[in-house]
Amino acid sequence: MNKIAVVAFGGNALLRANEVGTIEEQEKNTLDTCEKLIAILDQGYELIITHGNGPQVGNILLRNEAGYKEFKIPKMPLDICVADSQGGIGYMIERQMRNALNKKNVSKNVVAVITQVLIDINDSAFENPTKPIGPYYIKEEAELLGKSNNWIFQEDPRKRGWRRVVPSPKPMEVMNNQVVRDLVDKGHIVIAAGGGGIPVYWHSDTRYLEAIEAVIDKDLASALLAKEVGAEKFYIITDVRKVCVNFNKPDQKELDHLTVAEAQKYYDAGEFPAGSMGPKILAAIQFVESGGKEAIITSEAELGKKNCGTRITL
């Protein structure tokens, strides 16, 4: 059986702070990150790459609105927008990964898989939508859009405007996980579960598969996929080189290693906020508790270095 490492690209692996998001910027950043993945291949691991889609799907939603206002082009639902982002980002990662492999004379196929993720339609998240998506609006625009589309809006905590919020249910199963595993076992690099996957559910009476307006956390979906394919290592790429306690305070401290129990203790104490490091810590805990050997949270610049990042184990 091949050793497998799952690498979850954070937004900074595709788009750096203070960049506008041109395709040239995103392709350069993606190539830089992909080149660092060669070190993981050199360690004898097969690769599965997952990725976020926040800025990209936000732009797709903006195009949705602009096309409808200007030309009456029918709006596409959120599941189609997520699928669009999976295709576009997956293509970009696939091409740049091939370029990185070619530079090192490594012969491997790379394939991107449009990925649906099963959720529970009775998840309590549907009673309290909290995940912001899309652009900012003034209050009057948000009220009008909310009434016409049956959307829910919340004011941004930093007072930048009003944003649509959708539920963020727990991922239950990454569909086609066995296909992903089969491809990896054949030595191919697979890109999957982009943006947390497209949330879908089965109707219990008809076994009819239906999409729903929601967003799944990318790190939790990646951890689930890593568990389902039997990965040994799970890398979460973010914008800091190590997990810190007392973050952004005078007594900030980087952590080289955490046990699952220590990570949970810090999380329960509020060290890792929900909108920042929290989901990454929970995903790392989930992966290790489900049988994974090691989860590593680190930055793109540190990826591939010996003992990089914060390592979480039993």
Does residue 94 sit within a domain?
A: yes
Per the structure, the complete domain to which residue 256 belongs is given by 240-314
218 catalytic? Reply is: yes
What is the CATH number for 74? 3.40.1160.10
Residue 137 has pLDDT above 70, yes or no: yes
Q: What is the mean pLDDT of residues 163-187?
A: 96
Kindly name the residue from 11, 134, 194, 292 that is annotated as catalytic. 11
Are residues 255 and 227 part of one domain?
no
Are residues 255 and 111 part of one domain?
no
Angle at which helices 54-71 and 78-103 cross, to 10°? 130
Are residues 280 and 190 part of one domain?
no
Are residues 12 and 75 part of one domain?
yes
Kindly name the residue from 3, 28, 75, 131 that is annotated as catalytic. 131
Kindly name the residue from 280, 292, 304, 309 that is annotated as catalytic. 280
Does residue 144 sit within a domain?
A: no
| Per-residue pLDDT tens digits for 227-252 | 999 999 999 999 899 999 999 899 99
Does residue 135 sit within a domain?
A: no
Q: Are 173 and 117 in contact (CB under 8 A)?
A: yes
Does residue 269 sit within a domain?
A: yes
Are residues 94 and 20 part of one domain?
yes
280 catalytic? Reply is: yes
265 catalytic? Reply is: no
Q: What is the mean pLDDT of residues 117-137?
A: 92
Does residue 6 sit within a domain?
A: yes
Q: CA torsion 264→265→266→268, rounded to 10°?
A: 80
Handedness of CA 99, 38, 32, 196 (dihedral sign): positive
Give the H/E segment covering residue 254: strand 253-254
| Per-residue pLDDT tens digits for 258-310 | 999 999 999 999 999 887 899 999 999 999 999 999 999 999 889 878 889 99
Q: What is the mean pLDDT of residues 193-218?
A: 93
Are residues 300 and 187 part of one domain?
no
Are residues 224 and 306 part of one domain?
no
Where do the H-state alpha helices sit in 104-217?
139-149, 177-185
Are residues 247 and 109 part of one domain?
no
Kindly name the residue from 36, 218, 227, 242 that is annotated as catalytic. 218
Q: What is the mean pLDDT of residues 182-210?
A: 94
One DSSP character per residue, 168-195 reads -PPEEEETTHHHHHHHHHTT-EEE--GG
Q: Count how many domains the chain has.
A: 2
Are residues 58 and 186 part of one domain?
yes
Are residues 46 and 11 part of one domain?
yes
Query: pLDDT value at position 1?
Result: 67
